[in-house]
Structure 1
Amino acid sequence: MPTSMRAVELVRFGDADTAFATRELPVPEPGPGQVLVRVLATSVNPLDLQTRRGDYRDQVALPSVIGNDVSGVVVATGPGADDFRPGDEVWYLAPVFAGQGTYAEFHVVDQALAARKPARLSHVEAAGLALVGVTVWEALVERAGVRPGERVLVHGGAGGVGSAAVQLARALGAEVVTTARARDHAFVTGLGADTAIDFSAGDHVPRVRALGGVDVVLDTVGGDTLSRSPEVLADRGRVVSIVDTPEPQNLLAAWGVNATYHFLFVSPGRAKLEALGRLVDRGELRPVIGAVLPLADVARAHALLEGGSSGGRPRGKIAVAVHPEADGRSTPAP
């Protein structure tokens, strides 16, 4: 085992091109109930952008390694960590704002948060699904309680969270309506959406109401989504938002439809990953990877997610291949 590792640290809050530095850091040691994982792939999420900009500066002491998605190989176990052995392939969502993040060659995690990687996914694909998959599972299953035959509106169906949400809602037996640019309509219907609405071509509300409204709204875009949702909700409809919206929202109309609102900040867990893995195994859920960059290009990955000068934001997730073998679907034990 090496004693040092390559890692990308957040050294200052602000623009991506000045925020990061690649450094050599000590390889962490697993404590009781923990495993040390050689990170083969991670990914970039909107949470990372917010952290880099300084939205959570009270929770992040600089310099800091950020990032939360991992797919990799167990290389060592701490005392009492008996669920895995060196050589096991795992994927997981690391706790947010707790310890070292995942933009590094090695990472330590409590074994209870890790699950065995689905065999049909490469490490890049698994890393791209971990956070968004757990997010949509919490949103649609644990919070909204989506039932077969209900109608679900997913805002932003071509994005990282939205593309997973469209597939999960379909797997749950729901009729799926999503907003996406016209150029992405074939893409989102290919994921399982029954109806795609071009949000850039005008107000989506009349189109949704013409369908008869929806039982559940998943907000991945923010803006006035919370205040507009009662206009499309059926009675006792549910809204789940994963967006921290600081602007005041007028929710008076929500009383008229007995709406329930849920605000979600994702929490990791093995059971959720195992449930997602079963959907992957059945072919009902697949990661959507829009771009793959090496660890040294984390800053560029952030710029891509923000839709910078490189030509706009890719569909789905932006993954980071920490090791060259991350694109393979199986990796030999170290």
Structure 2
Amino acid sequence: MRVITQQTFGGPEVLTVVDAPDPQPLPTEVLVRVKAIGLNPIEALLRAGEVPPLLGPPPFVLGWDVSGVVEESPRTWRFRPGDEVFGMLLFPKPASAYAELVAAPALHLVRKPASLSHVEASALPVVGLTAWQGLVDLAGVGEGDRVLVHGGGGGVGHVAIQIAKARGAHVITTAGGSKREFVEGFGPDEVIDYTKVDFAEVLRDIDVVLDTIGGDTVERSLGVLRPGGHLVTATAEDDAELIARYEAAGMRFSGIAVDPDPVGLRGLVALVEQGKLRVHVQETFPFEHVAHAHRLLDRGHLRGKLVLTV
């Protein structure tokens, strides 16, 4: 099979396509013929060596989000050859998903609904599970809650808007001027253009804030929460000083580090099948053009997700 690997940290040009032995599934694992690979910003940071190396030093193969077809399921009852599946594999451990074949725990996969293409399915797991675990598992968002989603045009943000709406919340989101129309297409009740309006000056009595931006956005969100409100962040989960400030103000502070979750994946699938959730793919790239895709990841400010097709 072919994989995308790198021998050193660096820019997108370090990513190269090479031949490698086919992986061999262990008991409880399946071998998946990959059709599409969802790309995530953390992969660009890992490639460049800009974050603590989850995968160790190079050489390594990036990637966690895949959609494909089961080729072998030798010792698991969960899937059979020919089943179309998708999921987030092994995160944060190495899954080597930038590949034509992956061996993956069957428990980290679910059946792909017919209404999702492989491209769309591969784009959903990391962002979908981050939003689901933050809003549903941690915050318990429900009917009538006022929810603020920072960065509504991003991968996590545009999915989070839809999850919160599906659970009956009043959803407010922030987005830059050029993304306003895009974000409005996902059904928020209010969109705040952060280039013109300071959310901290116009919002109050928010039940839940979901943050994927970081920086002073997390600090300034303290002032918009109602007494006992809940801040869920994917960017500052280890900031002890910030946690102490929230707790001293009588607020809840939760950091989220996404993990494989078949229950959450099935929850996302249910929303897809009900027509309440869609994932936006900004652009797809052939497997061999992974460096072009990573250049876009490096620039940031994406609308939704980028995907490699295999």
Q: Does the residue aligned with 1:63 lie in a helix, a strand or coil?
A: coil
TM alignment of 1:106-255, pairs within 5 A = 106-209=101-204, 213-244=205-236, 250=242, 253-255=245-247
> Following TM superposition, by how much is the alpha carbon of 1:245 offset from its aligned partner in structure 2, in angstroms?
7.4
Distance 1:259 1:186 in 2: 32
> Following TM superposition, by how much is the alpha carbon of 1:251 offset from its aligned partner in structure 2, in angstroms?
5.5
Q: Does the residue aligned with 2:260 lie in a helix, a strand or coil?
A: coil
- The answer as to whether partners of 2:176 and 2:193 remain within 8 angstroms in 1 is yes
Distance 1:293 1:249 in 2: 42
> Following TM superposition, by how much is the alpha carbon of 1:103 offset from its aligned partner in structure 2, in angstroms?
0.5
> Number of paired residues?
309
Counterpart of 2:257 in structure 1 is 265
- The answer as to whether partners of 1:197 and 1:207 remain within 8 angstroms in 2 is no
Check 1:167–1:283 CA distance in 2 against 1; reply closer, same or farther (3 A cut): same
Which deviations, in whole Å up to 9, do the C-alpha atoms of 1:32-72 show, x marking residues without a partner?
A: 11100001001110121221122122642321111110100
Counterpart of 1:319 in structure 2 is 307
Check 1:300–1:98 CA distance in 2 against 1; reply closer, same or farther (3 A cut): same
Which deviations, in whole Å up to 9, do the C-alpha atoms of 1:247-269 show, x marking residues without a partner?
A: 88555652464111111111012
TM-score w.r.t. structure 2 length? 0.94
- The answer as to whether partners of 1:289 and 1:317 remain within 8 angstroms in 2 is yes
Counterpart of 2:80 in structure 1 is 85
Runs of 4+ that moved beyond 4 A: 244-253
Check 1:74–1:190 CA distance in 2 against 1; reply closer, same or farther (3 A cut): same
Structure 2 segments unaligned to the other structure (5+ residues): none
Look up the equivalent residue of 2:109 and give its one-letter code: A
Counterpart of 1:280 in structure 2 is 272
Q: In the alignment, which of 57, 60, 70 is matched to residue 56 of structure 2? A: 60
> Following TM superposition, by how much is the alpha carbon of 1:243 offset from its aligned partner in structure 2, in angstroms?
1.4
> Following TM superposition, by how much is the alpha carbon of 1:200 offset from its aligned partner in structure 2, in angstroms?
1.7
Check 1:252–1:26 CA distance in 2 against 1; reply closer, same or farther (3 A cut): closer
Q: In the alignment, which of 285, 289, 295 is matched to residue 287 of structure 2? A: 295
TM-score w.r.t. structure 1 length? 0.88
> Following TM superposition, by how much is the alpha carbon of 1:270 offset from its aligned partner in structure 2, in angstroms?
1.4
Distance 1:179 1:131 in 2: 21
Q: Give percent identity, aligned residues only.
A: 40
Counterpart of 2:3 in structure 1 is 7
> Following TM superposition, by how much is the alpha carbon of 1:78 offset from its aligned partner in structure 2, in angstroms?
2.9
Check 1:245–1:298 CA distance in 2 against 1; reply closer, same or farther (3 A cut): farther
Q: How large is the Cα RMSD of the aligned pairs? A: 1.8
